[in-house]
Amino acid sequence: MLKSHRFWIAGVLVCFVFTLCFPLFTQRGPLAQEAVAMLPDFSCYRTLDSVLADAASLANAHPNLAQWLDIGDSWLKQYGSDDEGFDLNVLKLTNQDTDGDKPVLFVMSALHARDLAPVELNLRFAEYLLDNYDQDPEVAWLLDETEIHLLLVANPDGRAIVEEQITSGWAGTGGIDARMKNLNANTCPTEPSSTGTDLGRNFPFEWAGGYLGCTNIYSGASALSEPESSDIQVYLANVFPDYRDEDPFDIAAVNGLLLNMESYGDIFRYPYFYTGDPAPEEAELYTLANKLAHGLDAFPTEPTTQFHGTPEDYVYGELGIPALAYAIGSSSEGQYFMNCWDFEEELNANLNMLIRATKASFAPYILPAGPEISNLNIQPHLENGQTIWQLSAVAKTNLYRFTTESTPIGASAVYSFDLAPWQEGAVLYEIQPDDRFWDEAEEVLSTELDVSALQPGQHRVYVQAALEDGTAGLASAGTITIDPEEPLPTDTPIVAEHYNYLPLINK
């Protein structure tokens, strides 16, 4: 009896120690040994200070892949006292050793201060990419050949107030009473708690005034009246080309994409926001939104309410770059303060969406309409003393939130080495369906790679499929490495290593 009692006490102690230590084993980010400060009652959302510190630490830990850029000031930083306010920072992700014309994916979150989930998702995306760069050739390809600009907290002054409201209990159920605007103290001097400007209505394209300064929809004294929106606009104009200067406007030449993440609504909205009239590229914008919404509860739609002066309309209307607003979560999932259970449950699907957005940025008006490559797998095997590389993949034309009865059928697929199929100089090799017929929305592809012209070393393998009219879709990439040594005995592979890419999405 005494012996069993001792075992019981030891078990209790083990459980107690494990309970205390478990959080230390499950921290995210480069400083896994340190505790991450989380918001009260929201164990999945980091505080503003932690978001900024963790993002800066990512840049320090990955200096060749990440930069923590100061792009401007918040209202309090510019007009308040010396110790008030925040810098506006962008986490820029790209391999700085690779050059060329890299498309830009710009992902912005917390333009409205009370949007918690978008900030955490944006930072988790950065951590996922940097953590997997050396293991996943798909991530390596995207960081090598694109620029991903993440504005994690576009309204830091307001976010700091929201955190105080959460702590004090004044945020309201689902954040309904939490601050949305910035902290411009001049807009509503009689009601300090109602001051500020809605930054989402302060951009220059079709800006409209006339709103009362104490309301949540106050759009500012003029377009770009706020330092936050003004600095963001300058940055956007610097990183995105101006395709509207071209005459005629050629959607095939456009690369780049803006995604503004908000709470809540489970929708992807696309321009125009200021009018009910359709945008010139409405069909292409819908297809892009429908593609990104695949695997999510969200659905693509035009704005049902008119908003003037939005960043999406500025980027699309002035520069010609597709720009979408993604409202994550639903009213039943916590409204502006998305429940942590729902956020974590949907995290992988949202990371998939951001990977798709990065791939689409190469040609955002074109690629979402073509077949998407998934389930790419590259395996070596020995045959007559030689290493043979076998490639398999699936080309799918039905990876959309909403599909139609007349889903198009793929008509061709290719692979290439080291240069993507759309790049000048790429040598293309044909891939056929296993059954030799292009007659299904999902076609299983396989081929033996022709590596005869490859030099020893590591090589990237791109795969892309197209419709009968030539419309190509989202590509995928894997990596092989050819051993530089002389041929080895027939029972030893001449390939030193290989990478297989099994994508996040396997549907």
| pLDDT over 60 at 10, yes or no | no
CATH of the domain at 90: 3.40.630.10
Q: Is 92 helix (H, G, I), strand (E, B) or coil?
A: strand
Mean pLDDT of 146-175: 97
pLDDT reading at 482 higher than 80: yes
pLDDT at position 304, please?
Answer: 86
Name residues whose C-beta falls within 8 Å of residue 342's C-beta, 6 or more positions apart in sequence.
Answer: 329, 333, 334
Cβ(69)–Cβ(55) under 8 Å?
no
Give yes or no: residues 26 and 80 share one domain: no
* Per-residue DSSP letter, 472: B
Q: Average pLDDT of the chain?
A: 89
Cβ-based neighbours of 214, under 8 Å, separated by 6 or more: 187, 188, 190, 191, 194, 195
Helix (H, G, I), strand (E, B) or coil at 391: strand
Question: Is 333 inside a domain boundary?
Answer: yes
> Do 1 and 100 share a domain, yes or no?
no
The SS3 of residue 140 is helix
Please report whether residue 505 resides in a domain.
no
Report yes or no on 68 lying in a domain. Answer: yes
pLDDT of residue 116: 98
Rounded to an integer, the average pLDDT of 137-154 is 98
Quick: pLDDT tens for 427-446: 999 999 999 999 999 999 99
Q: Whole-model pTM above 0.85?
A: yes
End-of-domain residue from the set 367, 394, 411: 367
| 266 C-beta neighbours (distance < 10 Å), count | 18
Q: With bands split at pLDDT 50, 70 and 90, how would you rate the model's confidence at 504?
A: very low
The string of DSSP letters for 219-230 reads --SSTT-SHHHH
Whether 206 maps to a domain, the answer reads yes
Residues in the chain: 507
Q: Classify the C-alpha dihedral 356-360-365-369 as positive or negative.
A: negative
CA-closest candidate to residue 262, choices 172, 395, 154: 154
Q: Are residues 179 and 320 in the same domain?
A: yes
**Which range has the worst mean pLDDT, 47-61, 130-144, 396-410?**
396-410
In a domain, 397, yes or no: yes
Quick one: pLDDT band at residue 216, thresholds 50, 70, 90? very high
Is there a single domain that holds both residue 98 and residue 147?
A: yes
Among residues 219, 178, 176, 229, which one has the least CA distance to residue 196? Answer: 219
Q: Same structural domain for residues 301 and 254? A: yes
Domain of residue 28, residue span: 1-35
- How many other CB atoms sit within 10 Å of the CB of residue 161? 22
Q: Which residue has the tokens 């390809």?
A: 141
Averaged pLDDT for residues 316-339: 98
pLDDT in tens, 490-502: 333 333 333 333 3
Residue-level pLDDT at 33: 33
Token pair, residue 202, equals 């302060």
pLDDT tens per residue across span 22-77:
333 333 333 333 445 999 999 999 999 999 999 999 999 999 999 999 999 999 99
pLDDT, greater one: 465 or 305: 465
Residue 294 belongs to a domain: yes
Does residue 506 form part of some domain?
no
pLDDT tens track for 75-96: 999 999 889 999 999 999 999 9
Token output for 52 = 């900024």
Query: According to the model, what pLDDT value does residue 378 have?
Result: 96
Q: Do 126 and 97 share a structural domain?
A: yes
Both tokens of residue 403? Answer: 């599909």
Distances (CA, A) of 435 to 305, 392, 443, 506: 49, 13, 9, 21
Considering its fold, how many domains does the chain have in total?
Answer: 3
Q: Is the dihedral of CA 130, 345, 360, 266 positive or negative?
A: negative
Please state, for a pLDDT cut of 90, what percent of the chain lies above it. Answer: 82
Over residues 273-281, mean pLDDT: 95
- Write the CATH number for 411: 2.60.40
